[in-house]
Structures are given as C-alpha cells and as structure tokens.
C-alpha cells in the first residue's frame, strides 16, 4: 500500500516520501533559473519571500547609485539592473559562474586593480563562501575611493550550500567585523525575520526532504507539504499578507533572521596637518 501511495505525488506527501524525481535540469537551465529567481521572485518559488526581501532592500540602498561600481564576487551579477545610473563592472575568481567577468580575482579573492578605483562596491551572498572574510572586506575597502560605499549581504541563518560554505553572522557581528576592517557602518538591516523566515524554512524542508511519519505533528507537517504541492503560492501569499512587515527590520527587534544587508562607507582620508611656518 505504501509503495502505491509513493507513486502518487500528492498522497506521497502524506506518507512523508518525496515525489518521484524529475528530469535533471542542465547547467544552463539552473543558472538561468537562479538568475530569474533573484531578479523576478514569484510566489511559489522555493525561497520567494527571502529573495524578494533581499532584492527590495538592495533596490532601496542602490537607488541613485552613480559613478563606477564593482560587483565583487559577481557570479551571474543578478542585481546589475538595480544600478542603472552607475557604470558597473564585475570581478570573479576563475571557475566562477560568470565566465565573462571584467576582472579576475586570484585564489585569495584579491584584485590587481589600483587603490581607490571605485565609487561603490556591491557584494551579495559572497562573504559566507570566502576563506577569509577579513581579506574580502579589506580588499573592498582598498578598492573604494574615500567616501565610497559598500553594499553587502550575507546570511544570518541558512542551510549549507554552494560548495565552500564557511560562515554565518549576526547583524551586530557583521557590523563589528566591517568596522574592524576600517569601514564606517551606516546600517545593518535584518532580512526575512521571525515567522516570515521560520515558515519559509519549514516549507523548504518539506519540499526538499519531506517529513517522517509519526503522530499529529508529523501529520500536520505532511499536510502542509501536500497543500504546498497543490497550491505552491499558498504559503507565500500568507507570508506577504500576514508577515510582510517582517521583510526588513532594524535594531534589536526580531532576533531570528535569514539574511543581513550591511551598508558602510570608507572614511575620508584625514587631512595632513601643515608644517609650522618658520
């Protein structure tokens, strides 16, 4: 009987067994879909609420950006459309997603570009993957002109992903690390907070792994997975309607969050005092 139910995707959700595997997408299809999910998140996407919150927060911070900017660890540079008034260049390590990056980073994530080359640095979902986050931040500081702006996002709570995945932060911890690297921190915004983030992760786990059988809690979780399969946007519509205000939060409220968006400035060089006249 269980084997028969496992052949039916909707009933299989109630048994805790994932649906039959579908055709594996090609590499190009995966990259194209990842780009779409970040630029145009839609209800029903696997991480819609989180990617929507991140995109909207980035759009707010990058509004009016001008001059020369660098997407530092660009990958496919999904947020390039948020900087229409800037001249955006990309930097990536050899073997990264973006095979046509303007600048190549070495094995330590460093660039051969001269000091003070850029008016702004964009670093999205990169810091958790680098071997030494301090090196990444100090290199961003070096590449900025005095008064230049850093816009950086990274994870608070998230599953391991993307090959090398080494670090997680709190908002205060990320701000402190940026300050130690020489930046003046302007804001540290928590993204996808509280129930908005918790329910997203719960739904995601059900999609990826299903839930084991056993008791009323297991039945409730498998029912959630079944409802998600029947109407993939059901959870996302609820998150937007009830918890839309938890997409972006500043300050000590909401100690649970999926991501952090930090904006910081490179301090202006101190003026050199004039020598005493003789």
In this prediction, residue 3 has a pLDDT band, given cuts at 50, 70 and 90, of very low
pLDDT of residue 95: 64
CB of 178 closer than 8 Å to CB of 138: no
pLDDT score of 249 more than 50: yes
Angle between helices 133-143 and 171-180 (to 10 degrees): 60
pLDDT of residue 18: 53
pLDDT score of 29 more than 80: yes
Please give the C-alpha separations between residue 115 and each of 121, 216, 250, 269, in angstroms, as whole numbers: 13, 61, 32, 13
pLDDT score of 9 more than 80: no
The C-alpha angle with vertex 212 and arms to 210 and 216, in degrees rounded to 5, equals 110
pLDDT of residue 25: 87
pLDDT of residue 276: 40
Top-confidence residue, 27 or 3: 27
pLDDT of residue 7: 36
pLDDT score of 274 more than 50: no
pLDDT score of 157 more than 90: yes
In the chain, alpha helices (H): 2-6, 9-15, 27-39, 48-62, 133-143, 171-180, 194-209, 215-230, 234-243
pLDDT score of 5 more than 60: no
pLDDT of residue 8: 42
Other C-beta atoms lying within 10 Å of the C-beta of residue 219: 14
Query: For 185-204, what is the mean pLDDT?
Result: 97
Query: For 197-216, what is the mean pLDDT?
Result: 93
Query: For 123-130, what is the mean pLDDT?
Result: 96
Whole-structure pTM value: 0.87
The helix or strand, by DSSP H or E, that contains position 184, with its residue range, turns out to be: strand 184-193
In this prediction, residue 270 has a pLDDT band, given cuts at 50, 70 and 90, of low
Q: What is the pLDDT of residues 75-113, one digit of tens each?
A: 899 999 999 999 999 999 876 555 589 999 999 999 999
């Amino acid at each position: 009987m269980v084997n028969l139910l496992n052949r039916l995707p909707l009933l299989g959700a109630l048994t805790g067994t994932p649906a039959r595997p579908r055709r594996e997408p090609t590499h190009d299809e995966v990259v194209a879909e990842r780009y779409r999910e970040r630029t145009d998140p839609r209800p029903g996407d696997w991480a819609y609420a989180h990617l929507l919150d991140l995109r909207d927060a980035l759009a707010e911070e990058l509004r009016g950006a001008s001059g020369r900017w660098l997407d530092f660890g660009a990958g496919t540079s999904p947020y390039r459309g948020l900087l229409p008034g800037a001249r955006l260049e990309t930097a990536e390590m050899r073997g990264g997603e973006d095979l046509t990056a303007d600048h190549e980073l070495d094995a330590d994530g460093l660039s051969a570009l001269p000091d003070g080359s850029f008016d702004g640095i964009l670093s999205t979902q990169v810091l958790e993957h680098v071997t030494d986050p301090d090196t990444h931040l100090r290199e961003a500081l070096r590449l900025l002109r005095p008064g230049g702006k850093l816009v950086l996002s990274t994870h608070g709570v998230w599953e391991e992903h993307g090959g090398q995945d080494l670090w997680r932060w709190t908002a205060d911890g990320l701000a402190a690390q940026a300050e130690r690297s020489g930046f003046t921190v302007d804001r540290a915004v928590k993204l996808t907070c509280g129930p908005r983030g918790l329910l997203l992760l719960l739904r995601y786990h059900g999609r990826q792994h299903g839930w084991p059988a056993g008791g009323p809690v297991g039945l409730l979780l498998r029912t959630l997975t079944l409802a998600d399969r029947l109407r993939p946007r059901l959870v996302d519509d609820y998150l937007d309607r009830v918890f839309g205000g938890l997409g972006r939060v500043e300050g000590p409220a909401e100690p649970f969050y999926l991501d952090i968006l930090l904006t910081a400035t490179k301090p202006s060089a101190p003026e050199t005092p004039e020598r005493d006249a003789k």
